[in-house]
Structure 1
Amino acid sequence: MNSSPNFRLLTAASVAALLLTASCDTTPRERQEAVREEARNIDTLANRAADKLRTVGRRAARFDSVSRQRNRQPLDTAAARTFASQLLGSYGDIEQLTPTTIEPAFVQFMQQVRTNRKQWTQRDWDYATALSRRLNSRFRTIRLDIKGRDELHIRALQTEFTALETSRDVKDLSDAVKDK
């Protein structure tokens, strides 16, 4: 049962209208007016809800448009190298990762993501995502030579990264559609 103030108001008004329309002490004209008044109240609430939905829809579309435009912009190669160096440290040369060094590279990457994610912009997340994709590609290339225990840990770290990234996207979308 919905307990929003508008719903409770609507329910109370509906009950009052029903009581009035079922009452033997009222005239048909009075009952007709009570039904009209209730219909106006419902229309007003529906119009307000539609306005809010329209506003939220426009804000969500604007957020999506900005995100798409940002994603069309290529990442700066120098900035990507700097980001890789910051997030991977000594594991920065992804193509040289071996079955024994890829798991520590993922651990280093996720430690840095956890540490820095709160102050990252969406563009920073774009760089981190590109780096994650490169790590995942290298992982797929050498996966058959990785110990099972390390592979499971890597998969857990990949899942954590996806969850953190998605959480940020949802937060940013939520912020974009909020009433300001």
Structure 2
Amino acid sequence: MKKKTTWLLTLLLAGFTFGAQAQSQSQVEKDLNDFRAWMRQKSGMADSTIRAEWPTVKKEYKEKTYTLDQNTKKLSDSSRAEYATMKQRYQEWEERNETRKAVDLEGRELDRWELEMTGSAQINRIKPAGLRDAFVQALDYTRVNRRNWTLRDWDYAEFVIGELNTRKAEVLDRLNNGDKIKIAALQVEFATLKKGREAKDAYNNMREQR
């Protein structure tokens, strides 16, 4: 009788433990769903609105990821991978906005650069089918105008390319292989052109110091 009672207590304890784990798992998945919805909402907002609300966006991000960061082990493998991807996307997003803040890009001027370089002043809404053309236009614009650009101009151009890179990350799974390859080549080309400008400036500075 004593053995039977012990077995029943063990079974009940295991049941309670499983129930608590299931509840915890359910809550962390709910937190992930909430964070996913938040990311979608923010990515659908106009860039100008995001820039105006950036301090609030950063605060909300920290609040929504705090519990998730403490409980990532309770997520399924697929959910954990999705969470990591969303966090990486946010970090790229934050880097763009912090860069803009650091160089103090003016809103209307930035909108003009976005429109001229990509054909859209709302890069975060460019459809996957149109992203390749946006990159092509941006690099065509860079090739034609780069020799006359000041360092300030390069700040704007680099920020716009950063926005395109972020949009690519957001819709990567909806791009065909041909577009992925073409866009990757254009990304490398822009980086090469930017480094060429930096090398030229470094050379000119060295000559001036002689």
TM over 0.5: yes
Whether 1:177 aligns to 2:206 is yes
Q: How far off is 1:77 after superposition?
A: 1.0
Identity of aligned residues (%): 30
Q: Which has the higher contact order (CA 8 A, sep 6+)?
A: 1
Deviation at 1:99, TM superposition (A): 1.4
Where 1:176 maps in the other structure, the secondary structure is helix
Give the structure 1 partner of residue 16 of structure 2.
none
Moved over 4 A (4+): none
| Residue of structure 2 equivalent to 1:4 | none
Matched residue of 2:128: which SS? coil
Q: Does 1:157 align with 2:186?
A: yes
Give the Cα separation in 2 of the matches to 1:81 and 1:176. Answer: 32
RMSD of aligned alpha carbons: 1.7
Select the structure that is richer in helix: 2
Work out the CA distance in 1 between the residues paired with 2:170 and 2:162. 12
1:109 to 2:138 alignment: yes
Residue identity in the other structure for 1:109: A
- Show the 5 A alignment for 1:67-106: 72-89=102-119, 91-106=120-135
Matched residue SS, 2:157: helix
3-state SS of paired residue (1:151) = helix
Unaligned runs of 5+ in 2: 1-100
Please tell me the residue identity of whatever aligns with 1:88: T
Structure 1 or 2, whichever has the larger Rg, is 1
Return 5+ residue gaps in structure 1 as ranges: 1-70
Shift of 1:95: 1.3
Instruction: Name the CA distance, whole Å, in 1 between partners of 2:124 and 2:113.
Output: 16
Q: Distance in 2 between matches of 1:125 and 1:74?
A: 13
Q: TM-score, normalised by structure 2?
A: 0.50
Q: Name the residue aligned to 1:118.
A: 147
Q: Deviation per CA, 1:39-76, whole angstroms, max 9, x where unpaired?
A: xxxxxxxxxxxxxxxxxxxxxxxxxxxxxxxx833111
